[in-house]
Chains A and B, each alone.
Chain A
């Protein structure tokens, strides 16, 4: 296949077309996970309540990003942008939390908001 043929082929199908079945499957999974997170919230798991709630939220977000937002079929460049954004968010969170968590370690810095 020469270059012109590749381009003609790409121009006819410039993207991966996801079947509606995948969308419906993800949709049902999201509904089940929403019901799960709501029901689990009423059960006392101590500190694990927050862990479970955030864990389910991360799974839901990942499903949306991979299937609804087509990242499963996207270019690596787009993926790097997303990972980079999340890495920057991690810096924002990690540095602020490390400041906040260590404020009581030295007597002169014992301040709370």
Chain B
């Protein structure tokens, strides 16, 4: 008998258990997959509100200290920020292609696309580390060693800006690290041949997570890197 996981779900009249099968409480595979998507999106909604709180605090303080925030934002490296945005967008494409390869049954392409996504994710974190190192070297990390190189009237609110910068990008980077962990599990499971054209829900759900993290960066990038550029 062939590997039962590759059979669509109890069609042979056998017991319908295991991840690749249609579970007994679902009507169809479509419904089963929709339930997974729904659960994943519920989780992502909690993430929207989680990051939303930080964006709220950012907005309130930027509203209070618009000039200081614009001035502090000019200490960001726009070239590195733009590069990292592009890196994340490319990684979203490779992730989407990993899901597509799984769905289209091109199983040999899954691992290369997942690996490319992981490589790009690691590149993003590497560039972020370079930026963090530069900020810390220039005493821009909030705390007792914070020293603002710009106008001193902006020093305190600029420290707030950098607190928010490190909190928001740090939390985003943590999500990237978790994403890389999830992708490495997917690579191992793909090597074991766990995913088929019929059943590859973990790859698809991980893709949703990865794209969500990309969306968070899509908002972080203009709000942290670009707000003070037009003022000279």
Contacts and interface: CB of A to CB of B under 8 A. Distances in A.
Given A11-B29, A12-B198, A42-B229, A34 B34 contact: no
18 contacts: A6-B28, A11-B8, A20-B100, A23-B97, A30-B89, A30-B92, A37-B226, A38-B82, A41-B230, A43-B230, A54-B219, A57-B219, A57-B221, A57-B222, A60-B218, A70-B37, A75-B38, A96-B56
Interface in A38-62: 38, 41-45, 49-50, 53-54, 56-57, 60-61
Interface of A: 6-8, 10-12, 14-15, 17-18, 20, 23-24, 27, 30-31, 34-35, 37-38, 41-45, 49-50, 53-54, 56-57, 60-61, 64-65, 67-70, 74-75, 77-78, 81-82, 84-86, 88-89, 92-93, 96-97, 100, 112-113
B86 interface: yes
Interface in B61-119: 61, 63-64, 78, 82, 85-86, 89-90, 92-93, 95-97, 100, 103-104
B48 interface: yes
B60 to A, nearest CB: 6
Given A14-B33, A41-B230, A78-B38, A27 B89 contact: yes
Given A23-B97, A34-B86, A78-B37, A11 B45 contact: no
Given A84-B45, A89-B52, A41 B208 contact: no
Contacts of B53: 92
Contact of A23 (B28, B37, B96, B227): B96
Contacts of B85: 34
B49 interface: yes
A85 B50 CA distance: 11
Interface in B180-232: 198, 204, 207-208, 211-212, 214-215, 218-219, 221-223, 226-227, 229-231
B11 interface: yes
B48 A15 contact: no
A112 B157 CA distance: 13
B22 interface: yes
Contacts of A70: 37, 204
B42 interface: yes
Given A10-B28, A41-B230, A78-B37, A112 B64 contact: yes
* Smallest CB-CB A-B distances: 10 pairs: A85-B45, A41-B226, A53-B222, A11-B8, A14-B29, A44-B230, A27-B93, A41-B229, A89-B52, A30-B89
A32 B9 CA distance: 44
Contacts of B8: 11-12
A65 to B, nearest CB: 7
Nearest to A100: B60
A99 to B, nearest CB: 10
